[in-house]
Amino acid sequence: MAASSFDLLCQGEDRPQATLLFPTYRSTHLHAALTSVLAQRDVILEILISDDASGDETPRRILDIAKRYHGPHRVLFRQGQKRLRLDHFTLMAEAASCDITLMAHHDDVAQPDRAQRILRTFTATGADVVASAFTAIQADGRPRVTNRERWASGFISMDQVIQHVWLWPMLGAGLAWRRKVYTDFPRLTTLYLPGGHDMLISFRGALRGGFYYLDEALFQRRSHAAQWGNVLFDMRGKPIAQEGTAARLLGVTVAMHKDVGHLKERAKGETPQNLVEIEEQITQSIMRRAMQLYDLRGQLLLAGKQAVWLKNEEFEALQRSSLLRRLLRREPFRSVKNWIQKMAIKRLGD
């Protein structure tokens, strides 16, 4: 997807130093997120805003904010007609015109110096992927206490990435990468990897020029019920959640193996020894994760549960129904439910 598919909203003042991706879909916290991106200082950005066929007022609200902007950044906008889901990120990444790309989610708030600090870190370290710390906030913007592990600034090793697959520094909202992370490997779509692109981007960085983590809180990450991360990586909850997490981590590990195979094919002559060793590590990890998934699925089968595939629309409807049931078990919703039941019984009696 070329950048020409985006409409130019602001030309900017000079040649951009980096591209910032701002994907949206039915955005609730759009104003705070987009204005924080436009307010990035001491740097000139190409800001690509793309709406994934929201079907609501999100595109109009984007234009209301962006068209009033007159500043140093080059701002472009695209309104999708068909929902792409995870492939939306790939479309945007391929449209970036700069060597370095930063991700910014539509519900987070960037610190004014986030982009500038990330660019300086790329220059100082030579890394291919850079991530940063964040401050957790609740949906209403108040601070949120989390139990995430603290990481010191530095390179995250290939051994750590392969062993854990998912680590806090891999959070997609805080990632930035060089173009080669996309161009030196097979095209990163849902056909290649159905989920967990942020983890594979981190792996690709560690595999080439390095994956560097900066222990500076450069954005506020907003937590809310609609976030994928609330259900994607749960290895401490019920077996059904653990099974889903195990399947996703296995899928990412398989994609890692495919990436290494791709580099081996491209290597003319003898395969570098480090690739051989990394491939062996990943193969062992695949075996461990496959056994874990098999055991968890066996536990669910013994408990009388079956894995069932649903269309996205059916799954979303079940999620809404489940949320409603949980709400009705709480006060004051329980009182409303009881009142409705009493009124129904009274009508039947009359």
Q: What is the DSSP string of 195-242?
A: S-HHHHHHHHHHHTT-EEEEEEEEEEEEP-TT-THHHHS-SSS-HHHH
Element (H, E) at 33: helix 30-38
pLDDT digits (tens, 9 = 90+) for 286-318: 999 999 999 999 999 999 988 888 888 887 787
* 57 three-class SS: coil
Question: In 3D, which of 105, 112, 131, 125 has the Cα closest to residue 50?
Answer: 105
Could you state, in order of their start, the residue ranges of all structural domains in the chain?
3-232, 239-302
Residues 6+ apart with CB under 8 A from 339: none
Predicted confidence (pLDDT) per residue in 209-262, tens digit? 999 999 999 999 998 765 555 545 555 568 888 898 999 999 999 999 999 999
* CA atoms within 13 A of residue 60's CA, in its CB half-sphere: 3
Instruction: Decide if 174 contacts 134 (C-beta within 8 A).
Output: yes
User: What angle in degrees, to the nearest 10, is found between the helix axes of 333-349 and 312-328?
Assistant: 90
Query: In this predicted structure, what is the pLDDT of residue 147?
Result: 78
The confidence score (pLDDT) of residue 128 equals 98
For residue 202 the two structure tokens come to 């981190």
**Measured between alpha carbons, how far apart are the two ends of the chain, in Å?**
66
The predicted pLDDT at position 93 comes to 97
Quick one: pLDDT at residue 237? 66
Taking each helix axis from N to C end, the angle separating 197-207 and 239-266, rounded to the nearest 10 degrees, works out to 40
Closest to 179 measured CA to CA, from 125, 124, 121, 100: 100
Q: Give Cα separations from 278 to 161, 212, 273, 282 (angstroms).
A: 11, 19, 9, 6
The third-level CATH classification (topology) of the domain covering 3-232 is Spore Coat Polysaccharide Biosynthesis Protein SpsA; Chain A (3.90.550)
Residue 314's SS3 state is helix
pLDDT at 341: 62
> For residue 76, with 0-12 CB atoms within 10 Å meaning exposed, 13-18 middle and 19 or more buried, which class applies?
buried
Residue 35: what pLDDT? 98
Q: Which residues pair with 168 in a beta bridge?
A: none
> If you ran DSSP here, which 8-state letter would residue 132 be given?
E
pLDDT of residue 43: 98
- What confidence score (pLDDT) does residue 225 get? 62
Q: Tell me, what amino acid is at 332?
A: P
For residues 41 and 325, give the distance between their C-alpha atoms in angstroms, rounded to a whole number: 46
CA 85 – CA 312 distance, rounded (Å): 11
Cβ 175 vs Cβ 196: under 8 Å: no
Cis amide bond preceding 186, omega within 30: no
Kindly report whether the global pTM for this prediction surpasses the value 0.85: yes
Give me the residues of the chain with pLDDT under 70, please.
1-4, 225-237, 322-350
What's the rounded Cα separation, in Å, for the pair 172 and 310? Answer: 26
